[in-house]
């Protein structure tokens, strides 16, 4: 009886960033909501920190509504780190009290909140070496880097790789994953951040405003276009024989090439126990270092997310901390 009352209190009157229709930043509100019980295979998480990704506003605008559907209100945010509060039926790997990190699926979302529900299969034990804010900055960007470089490109020692946007959320961890695999990395970034890119480990850092693909004819085994600004022709020209271009911002043309041409691969990040175990091990060893920028409370989350959407990030991932 007491347990049920406590559980009910945790489900009612929670706060989160949510919206009632697809649209611009004006649809976002911090509101009370009621969290359901975790269903079979799901866990309920007390969110200690959550991080923002460009997909948050792409979904809010309705750009992925064929995948995200028309059910509202809809919470914002996918990445999280927190503590398991309740587990649903058939949950076997995790238990109440576990410190975890992960990301909800596209449809679920809602981690910019005091509590959220996530599938057990995309929730993982948090590496001990990092705090909740650092852990919340990792799931989607590391899963993207891993899916692209390890699973799709099979990046190997001695290979040469170009990463566009090498200091962005995906770019920053991709540089580290590439170095973990023994590859040499060239990266593009804004001119003012060149030293930061070199300190991270890229062998050559190029200002993206001055980047000229024709200077890199036949130069790379892998081109990872995290910003999405390269053309198919530029990728083809820069790739060595047998090389592969990885696209995470697919245009219709890139989608077609992803189907008809072995040199081009469209990446959809996915979190698996195997990849996140490897990521966690690398984090524990200090080989993948999270890059947390601004940390804001839930009450300031909307303005910080809108600023990210309009002006980009500098200095690391935007983290929302509902516990502040």
Interface contacts to ligand NAP, rule CB under 6 A:
53-55, 58, 140-141, 144, 164-165, 167-171, 188-190, 193, 208, 226-229, 248-249, 267-269, 312-314
Indicate the residue among 144 and 275 with the shorter CB distance to ligand NAP.
144
Indicate the residue among 10 and 121 with the shorter CB distance to ligand NAP.
121
Q: At residue 128, what are phi and psi to the nearest 5 degrees?
A: -70, -25
Shortest Cβ distance from residue 250 to ligand NAP (Å)? 7
Shortest Cβ distance from residue 227 to ligand NAP (Å)? 4
Neighbouring-strand partners of residue 247: 225, 266
Shortest Cβ distance from residue 115 to ligand NAP (Å)? 25
User: Is it true that the peptide bond before 73 is cis, omega within 30 degrees of 0?
Assistant: yes
282-287, Cβ contacts within 8 angstroms, sequence gap of 24 or more: 282/176, 282/177, 282/180, 283/127, 283/129, 283/130, 283/138, 284/127, 284/128, 284/129, 286/129, 287/176, 287/179, 287/180
Indicate the residue among 200 and 249 with the shorter CB distance to ligand NAP.
249
Shortest Cβ distance from residue 51 to ligand NAP (Å)? 10
> What is the H or E stretch that residue 65 is in?
helix 65-68
Shortest Cβ distance from residue 72 to ligand NAP (Å)? 22
Nearest one of 13, 186, 46 to 114, comparing CA atoms: 46
Indicate the residue among 115 and 138 with the shorter CB distance to ligand NAP.
138
Tabulate helix, strand, coil % of the chain (nearest 5): 35, 25, 40
Residue nearest to ligand NAP (CB): 168
Shortest Cβ distance from residue 229 to ligand NAP (Å)? 4
Shortest Cβ distance from residue 282 to ligand NAP (Å)? 19
Indicate the residue among 116 and 313 with the shorter CB distance to ligand NAP.
313
Q: At residue 134, what are phi and psi to the nearest 5 degrees?
A: -65, -45
User: Pseudo-torsion of CA 48, 30, 313, 149, nearest 10°?
Assistant: 60
Indicate the residue among 110 and 168 with the shorter CB distance to ligand NAP.
168
- Whether residue 116 contacts residue 35, with contact meaning beta carbons closer than 8 Å, is answered with yes
Indicate the residue among 28 and 148 with the shorter CB distance to ligand NAP.
148
Q: Give the Cα separation of 135 and 279 in Å (integer).
A: 11
């Amino acid at each position: 009886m007491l347990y049920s009352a406590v559980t009910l209190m945790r489900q009612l009157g929670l706060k989160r960033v949510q919206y009632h229709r697809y649209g611009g930043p004006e649809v976002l509100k911090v509101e009370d909501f009621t969290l359901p019980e975790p269903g079979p295979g799901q866990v309920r998480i007390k969110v200690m920190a959550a991080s923002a990704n460009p997909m948050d506003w792409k979904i809010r605008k309705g750009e992925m509504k064929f995948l995200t559907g028309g059910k509202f209100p809809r919470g914002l945010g996918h990445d999280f780190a927190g503590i398991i509060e309740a587990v649903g039926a058939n949950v076997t790997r995790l238990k109440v009290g576990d410190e975890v990190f992960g990301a909800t699926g596209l449809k679920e979302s809602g981690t910019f909140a005091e509590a959220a529900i996530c599938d057990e299969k995309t929730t993982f034990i948090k590496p001990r070496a990092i705090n909740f804010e650092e852990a919340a900055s990792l799931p989607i960007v590391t899963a993207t880097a891993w899916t692209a470089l390890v699973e799709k490109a099979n990046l190997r020692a001695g290979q040469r790789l170009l990463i566009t946007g090498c200091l962005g959320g995906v770019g920053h961890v991709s540089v580290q994953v590439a170095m973990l695999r023994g590859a040499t990395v060239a990266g593009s970034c804004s001119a003012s951040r060149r030293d930061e890119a070199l300190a991270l480990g890229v062998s050559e850092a190029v200002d993206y405003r001055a980047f000229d693909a024709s200077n890199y004819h036949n130069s790379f085994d892998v081109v990872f276009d995290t910003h999405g600004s390269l053309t198919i022709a530029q990728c083809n020209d820069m790739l060595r024989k047998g090389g592969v271009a990885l696209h995470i911002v697919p245009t219709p043309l890139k989608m077609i090439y992803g189907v008809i041409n072995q040199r081009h691969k469209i990446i959809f990040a996915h979190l698996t126990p195997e990849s996140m175990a490897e990521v966690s091990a690398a984090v524990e060893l200090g080989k993948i270092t999270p890059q947390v920028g601004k940390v804001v409370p839930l009450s300031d989350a909307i303005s910080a997310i809108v600023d990210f959407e309009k002006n980009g990030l500098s200095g690391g991932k935007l983290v929302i901390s509902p516990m502040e």
